[in-house]
Chain A
Amino acid sequence: EAQVTQNPRYLITVTGKKLTVTCSQNMNHEYMSWYRQDPGLGLRQIYYSMNVEVTDKGDVPEGYKVSRKEKRNFPLILESPSPNQTSLYFCASSPREGLLIGQYFGPGTRLTVT
């Protein structure tokens, strides 16, 4: 089954404790992206990647890091989480030219930073 998976689905952590949210897709897609979703603000893009070893900043990259060492994986790293990073995070992927057909989203990771 074609899918985007994220782990963990729920995470409660404390300020400053480094964490990684994993994202994996099995569709051989070139394009992968991370978003955060907050009430009243909608989805905001954090980082995106057009292919292996190619990453670019989205609209809200501060406080986040990503890497794309393999085509299928695109982890999101929070080196020193802060409470303002409490949010719902989505990973997504699509074929590079198939931004035309929209992205496939993972199920989401709800992160709480206390």
Chain B
Amino acid sequence: DTAVSQTPKYLVTQMGNDKSIKCEQNLGHDTMYWYKQDSKKFLKIMFSYNNKELIINETVPNRFSPKSPDKAHLNLHINSLELGDSAVYFCASSQWTDRTNEKLFFGSGTQLSVL
């Protein structure tokens, strides 16, 4: 009954490949996010979707394309993987109604290693 689940947990791939990370939340939230945590441990927002609509798109290479088939899912597709893409990617969700006190619920992360 995991609230925010993402797969796979680990992803090891070669440079130049295309890969996808999937995320699903069963909390009934209307907003989902992708964050990247680099080797320095900073968490940086990449994308946010509210009710399947893109609302935040930070400066991310267009090799990264999020797709939200419905409110409960937000997948991340990455084309032409580069060494610098190696990081831990976290999916998160929240309810957009009370932005002052709303909590972010994070998935367990996907550790991406590009060789």
Q: Are A and B co-members of a single complex?
A: no
